[in-house]
Amino acid sequence: MMATLACLPTFTRRHARLATWLLMLFALLMLGLGIGLRDPWPADEPRFALNALEMLDTGDFWLPHRGGELYPDKPPLFMWATALSIAITGSLRLGFLLPSLFAALGTLALVMDLLQRLYGHRIALFGGIALLTTLQFTLQAKTAQIDMLLTFFTTLGAYGLLRHALLGPAWRWWAGGWAAMGLGILTKGVGFLPLALLPAWYWLSRDGRLTPLRLRELSAGMGILLAVIVLWGLPMIIMTSLGDDPALATYRDNILFKQTGERYANAWHHVKPWYYYPSQVLPWAWMPLTLALPWAVPPWWRRIKRRDARIILPLSTMLLVICFFSLSPGKRGVYMLPTIPLLALAIAPLLPGLWRRRGLQHLGAATLLLLGAVLLAAGTLGSLGLPALQALAERYALSPWGWWITLGLTALALLGWLKPRRGLLALTLWFVVFWGLWSTWGYGLMNETRSPRTMMERLTGITGSDAWLALPAFDEEFLLQSRQPSVHFGYHTPIESQLARAYAWIHQAPHTRWMLIGQDHRDDLTCVALDNAHDLGFQNSEMWWLIPGTAFADCQSDVDAAPLFVAPTSLSDIPHGTAAP
């Protein structure tokens, strides 16, 4: 497609609207392919799906819950979007991925619209294709994590500010950009990332190149941002401060302080070195645009020396965002997602020239050859029974050999057809094939391994649908797929306290209560008659036991050791909110 754009600029201008709509339609088909074919997968998807289902089940939308327990880690906007999608479609499988899909399409539309206004339709199409084929962008568009919706709001915020700076004054877009940042903060606390535009904007505006920044307008913008936050934050503070439940005060303090400043400055998990993003994340997350960076730096530098604000603003913002997240000890690869639309804005005007670089085309061909050869070799050796690959297949209960062989052969076929001189086009088309197979064949292979739906159905067949189930040390995917009344004992409660409380609960009705627990907790279950346990086998990277209540007769219990929460989503005919008998 890029080759066509490079060769037919007149055609593109004449049919720009049609080309734009065709690209958006293709994006809808590619990003939407596979919706309805899988369940929510860990790490984050089951948690947010559970939050959303509980909102629909209980009618409590203001404060998110997880299995009946307050969930203080994130604001509720993404959960609201997921709940709305599930309610409209009437299906968890159809609904849980829709917020990410529409957020990705919105992000794509914003990037293309701004590029069209700054450079014209041809560059907008280049930028749209570049964004759509970037690995992490497409991956997150097909993942029900919070970050794609955050990226839409940060891109909308940057769009509003850039419209005002480069094409303004545009006061409505200025105000809209600040409002979008407020919504981004209600999605995930870092929605203020577009403020990284301001240093370069101030520097460039001193010689009249941009709409000037004035304290009065900045104060008004900050007021809009705070007003959006207060729409949810003030009622939340009132609700959690006036109630008698100490859990409400804990929720308030956690969401306001621990999950914001403390998590950034003193992260307690995902701790990585400062160079983690440029060395371990960006090389694959920005692929295939990563390949073009050595050729992009010289023209970027020439435009920076000319003080081209169209390049300097998105590029400087992208670099500041990377620095911002690199300074925090806690790092996850997905935090880099908001940088990808900024990268597309900065690199799009260079793409027609970069596309003609023979060295870049050959690098694309070499990359595709390496990917194809590795996948073809791994698939072939795995199908032939290579012990190391067979061990991995048994560990993850997955045999992807045919899938990998198909991807490898596709890579070699594209190279044979398009030749190294069109290596980037071959690599781009291969990514399209990859996502098509990922969303169909891949979903079919991985869903049984990554979703415990089948295991939970089998479990219900053993216990009966009316039996109660205890889930100490639970993961959200098991609670989400539970087909019977289920309880847990606090997500962050130490396992020893959870088990003492679970024993007390089970002792009240041992013939109708069961426990599901991972076999890695064997050392914590020395009092349990494990001869009576049902071995449920391997699921979601663990081996599992289903243990009847009668097996806990010799266990010492403590009813005050931990709280007990009844999961509303696990109750069917039992009235909502009913305590466990």
Does an H or E element contain 565, and which?
Answer: strand 565-566
Q: What is the pTM of this model?
A: 0.93
Mean per-residue pLDDT over the chain, rounded: 92
What gap in Å lies between CA 505 and CA 545, rounded to an integer? 18
- Residues near 561 by beta carbon (within 8 Å), at least 6 away in sequence: 496, 497, 498, 500, 501, 504
pLDDT grade for 574, boundaries at 50, 70 and 90: very low
Closest C-alpha among 515, 486, 504, 501 to residue 578? 486
What gap in Å lies between CA 258 and CA 252, rounded to an integer? 10
- Residues near 237 by beta carbon (within 8 Å), at least 6 away in sequence: 252, 256
pLDDT grade for 573, boundaries at 50, 70 and 90: very low
Amino acid at 442: G
Q: What count of other Cβ atoms lies within 10 Å of the Cβ of residue 226?
A: 14
DSSP assignments along 38-67, one per residue: S---TTTHHHHHHHHHHHHHH---SS-EET
Q: What count of other Cβ atoms lies within 10 Å of the Cβ of residue 349?
A: 22
Say what the pLDDT of residue 5 is. 52
Q: Which residue has the tokens 């990268």?
A: 343
Say what the pLDDT of residue 580 is. 46
pLDDT grade for 439, boundaries at 50, 70 and 90: very high
pLDDT tens across 264-306, in order? 777 767 889 999 999 999 999 999 999 999 999 999 999 999 9
Say what the pLDDT of residue 2 is. 53
What gap in Å lies between CA 303 and CA 287, rounded to an integer? 24
Say what the pLDDT of residue 58 is. 93
pLDDT tens across 163-214, in order? 999 998 999 999 999 999 999 999 998 999 999 999 999 999 888 779 999 9
Is the confidence at residue 452, as pLDDT, over 80?
A: yes
pLDDT grade for 363, boundaries at 50, 70 and 90: very high
Secondary structure (3-state) at 505: helix
Is the confidence at residue 572, as pLDDT, over 70?
A: no
Task: Give percent of the chain above pLDDT 90.
Answer: 83
- Residues 159, 173: contact at Cβ < 8 Å? yes
pLDDT grade for 576, boundaries at 50, 70 and 90: very low
pLDDT grade for 4, boundaries at 50, 70 and 90: very low
Secondary structure (3-state) at 368: helix
pLDDT tens across 367-414, in order? 999 999 999 999 999 999 899 898 888 877 788 999 999 999 999 999
Burial class (CB in 10 A: 0-12, 13-18, 19+), 275: exposed
Task: Give percent of the chain above pLDDT 70.
Answer: 96
Phi, psi angles (nearest 5°) of residue 303 = -75, -30
- Domain ranges in the chain are 2-354, 360-450, 453-570
pLDDT tens across 35-59, in order? 999 999 998 999 999 999 999 999 9
Does an H or E element contain 547, and which?
Answer: strand 542-548
Mean pLDDT of 108-132: 96
Tokens of 534: 């049902």
What gap in Å lies between CA 210 and CA 375, rounded to an integer? 49
Mean pLDDT of 80-99: 96
Tokens of 260: 């914001």
3-state DSSP percent of the chain in helix, strand and coil, to 5 = 70, 5, 25
Mean pLDDT of 248-272: 81
What gap in Å lies between CA 194 and CA 453, rounded to an integer? 40
pLDDT tens across 142-170, in order? 999 999 999 999 999 999 999 999 998 99
